[in-house]
Chain A
Amino acid sequence: DQQVKQNSPSLSVQEGRISILNCDYTNSMFDYFLWYKKYPAEGPTFLISISSIKDKNEDGRFTVFLNKSAKHLSLHIVPSQPGDSAVYFCAAIQGAQKLVFGQGTRLTINP
């Protein structure tokens, strides 16, 4: 039973444009949602989070939007830069800090 899903395994975006990564979830009891970025041969790195009581959180070039009625969140990166090329994981957390991850989306930024 996969509670967090990222249905796009890959995404290709031109440098300078907006990257939009999507994530769906099934468990309405999740308290927080997080995005992690992962480069090859490294561990995931925290990017940004959003509480379930908010609908938007912004940090520099990164904005996360949460639509609770649709059980959907998205990460917007603007403008996209070559260093943003990585695998992005959506994750959700409930209670005792147990992160539930999506399967990741590989983002490629083309020059």
Chain B
Amino acid sequence: DTAVSQTPKYLVTQMGNDKSIKCEQNLGHDTMYWYKQDSKKFLKIMFSYNNKELIINETVPNRFSPKSPDKAHLNLHINSLELGDSAVYFCASSPPSVEQFFGPGTRLTVL
């Protein structure tokens, strides 16, 4: 299946822990993104990478660090997790066009 995949789908952890979410796309796209959907259901961009290079970095705490080992992968590492980090995180990728293809999301719950 050609798609954007994310692991894990659910992540429950304690405050203060460090966690990572992995994203992979096999669509051959050069650009990948991380979005956050908060409790009010707003979807907001966090980061964008083009061919492993950071091109968009919204106002996100520096506890969040994206890592792109190659253009098919964009992982999100979060240090010192806080209650307010609880959200659904979506990875996406796009060809050189406006359409973006989203992964299924990772629901992060910080206790």
Q: Which residues of A contact B (CB under 8 A)?
A: 31-32, 34, 36, 41-46, 49, 87, 89, 93, 96-101, 103-104
| Residues in A whose Cβ lies below 8 Å from that of B45 | 98-100
Q: How large is the interface on B (under 10, 10 to 19, 20 to 34, 35 or more residues)?
A: 20 to 34
- 3 shortest interchain CB distances as A-B pairs: A43-B102, A101-B43, A32-B98
B105 touches A43 (CB 8 A): yes
Report the bound CA distance from A42 to B92 in whole Å: 12
B98 touches A34 (CB 8 A): yes
A43 touches B92 (CB 8 A): yes
B102 touches A45 (CB 8 A): yes
B44 touches A101 (CB 8 A): yes
Q: What 1/0 mask marks residues of chain B from 31 to 58 whose CB sits below 8 Å from any chain A CB? A: 1010100001111110010000001100
- The reply to whether the CB of B100 lies closer than 8 angstroms to some CB of chain A is yes
Shortest A30–chain B CB gap in Å is 11
Q: Which residues of B contact A (CB under 8 A)?
A: 4, 31, 33, 35, 40-45, 48, 55-56, 90, 92, 94, 98-105
- Some 22 contacts from A to B, beta carbons below 8 A apart, are A31-B98, A34-B99, A36-B102, A41-B104, A43-B4, A43-B90, A43-B92, A43-B102, A43-B105, A44-B43, A44-B90, A46-B100, A46-B101, A89-B43, A96-B48, A98-B45, A99-B33, A99-B35, A100-B45, A101-B44, A103-B40, A103-B41
B94 touches A101 (CB 8 A): no
| Residues in B whose Cβ lies below 8 Å from that of A31 | 98
| Residues in B whose Cβ lies below 8 Å from that of A42 | 104-105
Shortest B30–chain A CB gap in Å is 11
Closest to A9 in B: B41
| Residues in A whose Cβ lies below 8 Å from that of B41 | 87, 103-104
Among A45, A89, A99, residue most surrounded by chain B Cβ atoms (within 10 Å) = A99
A49 touches B55 (CB 8 A): no
Shortest B34–chain A CB gap in Å is 12
